[in-house]
Structure 1
Amino acid sequence: MAEAELHSIATWTEIGLAALTFVSLFFVTAPYGRHGRKGWGPEISQRLGWVLMELPACVLWLGIYFAGTHALELAPLALMALWQLHYVNRTFVFPFRIKAEGKTTPVSIVATAIVFNTLNAYVNARWVSELGSYPISWLYDARFVIGAVLFVAGFAINQHADQVLMNLRKPGETGYKIPHGGLYRFISCPNYFGEILEWTGWAIATWSLAGLAFALYTIANLAPRALKHHEWYRQKFADYPTSRRALIPFVV
């Protein structure tokens, strides 16, 4: 089997997983974070879980990328920098900033994420540095520029939203509070909105089915969870702002 055919199968598999994930998450809420609950098998520390499940998307992605014949060309390197901007933070920075003491994550969730991130690393890294075509002129193509701007804007939104959540509790405090400021004025989950914006930008910047597959999976994974978060906030806090939407300002 030619690699182009194998890659196509892997990409369409990811799109199929997106459809399956989108439907299933309306019936089963993934048991981590505020929705964590027993009954999903052995657990490990939340911090270790974050590092392990994001590691393939950062380290394995780099290994696959640098095996490509176009890896040292400027446009693929620029795309690589965007990807790693997100995943170096998500793998090696974010897990050590969150207040995760005493919190756990099911091993089953971590294992599932590792499998997906391995597939996604191959689909996107191999496309960018080997199977795709990104001459230096791609760096001033409107699709790259627009996509990169959306990606960076989404990253900034995601970072600000995470910082607001991290600052909600003072040292020694437990429990949940209502977040305020930034896009929290309009939606319950600006961190998810920012991440969806990032990978939508990635799909545009790469102008590829590989990039689109990940954008679709991100939406399929985070949109139902945002709706669950929004519902959780409204049930837990009687004074929760009624004008807030779940994920997209003024829309949903």
Structure 2
Amino acid sequence: MWWPPFLYPPPASAFVAAASVVQFAAMAKAGLGELRGEHLAYSKFWQVVAGKQQKKQGGGALLTSRQGMLVAYVPALVVAAASFAVPGVVEGVRTQLLSAVLTVHFLKRVLEVLFIHQYSGSMPFNTAVSISSSYFLITTTMIYTQHLTAGLPDPPLDLLYPGVVVFAVGIAGNFYHHFLLSRLRTKGGDKAYKIPTGGLFGLVTCPHYLFEIVGFFGFAMIAQTAHAFAIASGSAAYLAGRSCATRRWYESKFEDFPASIKALVPYVL
């Protein structure tokens, strides 16, 4: 049976196979939902899309946006960092690097929530838990799948260290554009939305999502498992849909929004 030379053979695990299919399908479905205007209940899309009030999703208790994003990210950070303390889980350089970059990824997100992002509004508790569960499961299954490769020969095409470079580019680009977004809100508390500038914002509306996708494919290149590539592909599908929705939102809010600015990939999409 032919198998791509950059991947480990699939493990004999029904759980991993099911997780790969379910997690990819769930993220791709969420991306299609974004294109259809069915947005997760957070950020500006919960309030207004194309000038129309959206129905409240989730219901129940409300958190501040900052609290909600901490609920979303902290469990994944904890499980990634804790994997080093579980005997026999993080063995070998590849698994150690995967756990390390996952830890760095979610630590960066938590620090951005605390010190970089400017928030207004609220988030339903159910939405925060849903996002948190998704990140927690993604992180857990990627590390577990990598653990199952212990003792196997590396794939003929080794992408480990190129993957570290790709991850570094992704996390740096994502942070830089998040920082630019945070500068749109003035210190005086101005909550009005503005067209972002600087970096790749002159070419696409969501360069932060573009670099997030790059980071996820960095994970996949480090892991070199079909499961990690399924997660990266599903994340790309979701963020592509959200990027297109973001571009439509900017067009609806700003009559002078440049037609040349794409949603996610410069000059292409």
TM over 0.5: yes
Aligned runs of 1:32-111 on 2, under 5 Å? 32-37=42-47, 39-40=56-57, 41-42=59-60, 43-64=62-83, 66-67=85-86, 69-100=88-119, 102-111=120-129
Task: Determine helix, strand or coil for the equivalent of 2:235.
Answer: helix
Q: Does structure 1 conserve the Cα–Cα contact (< 8 Å) formed by 2:173 and 2:211?
A: yes
Aligned position for 2:8: none
Q: Does structure 1 conserve the Cα–Cα contact (< 8 Å) formed by 2:77 and 2:107?
A: yes
Deviations 1:175-201 (A, max 9, x none): 111111111121110000010111012
Aligned position for 1:153: 169
State whether structure 2 residue 235 is matched by structure 1 residue 218. yes
Q: Does structure 1 conserve the Cα–Cα contact (< 8 Å) formed by 2:89 and 2:144?
A: no
Aligned position for 1:7: 16
Aligned position for 2:135: 117
Paired residue type of 1:9: A
Aligned position for 1:24: 33
CA 1:183 to 1:135, structure 2 compared with 1: closer, same or farther past 3 Å? farther
Task: Determine helix, strand or coil for the equivalent of 2:201.
Answer: helix
Aligned equivalent of 1:168, options 184, 198, 209: 184
Identity among equivalent positions (%) equals 24
Paired residue type of 2:115: F
Deviations 1:64-89 (A, max 9, x none): 45436251533322222221221101
Relative to the length of structure 1, the TM-score reads 0.88
Stretches of structure 1 lacking an aligned partner (at least 5 in a row): none
Tell me how far apart the structure 2 counterparts of residues 192 and 23 of structure 1 sit (CA, whole Å). Answer: 16
CA 1:201 to 1:207, structure 2 compared with 1: closer, same or farther past 3 Å? same
Q: Residue 15 of structure 1: CA displacement?
A: 2.1
CA 1:123 to 1:235, structure 2 compared with 1: closer, same or farther past 3 Å? same
The alignment of Structure 1 onto Structure 2 pairs a total of residues equal to: 248
Q: Residue 56 of structure 1: CA displacement?
A: 2.2
**RMSD of aligned Cα (Å):** 2.5
Deviates more, 1:15-24 or 1:171-180: 15-24
Relative to the length of structure 2, the TM-score reads 0.83
Task: Determine helix, strand or coil for the equivalent of 1:113.
Answer: helix
Q: Residue 5 of structure 1: CA displacement?
A: 2.6
Aligned position for 1:144: 160
Q: Does structure 2 conserve the Cα–Cα contact (< 8 Å) formed by 1:64 and 1:126?
A: no
Tell me how far apart the structure 1 counterparts of residues 83 and 21 of structure 2 sit (CA, whole Å). Answer: 19
Stretches of structure 2 lacking an aligned partner (at least 5 in a row): 1-10, 48-54
Q: Greater helix share, 1 or 2?
A: 1
Tell me: higher relative CO, structure 1 or 2? Use CA pairs within 8 A at least 6 residues apart: 2
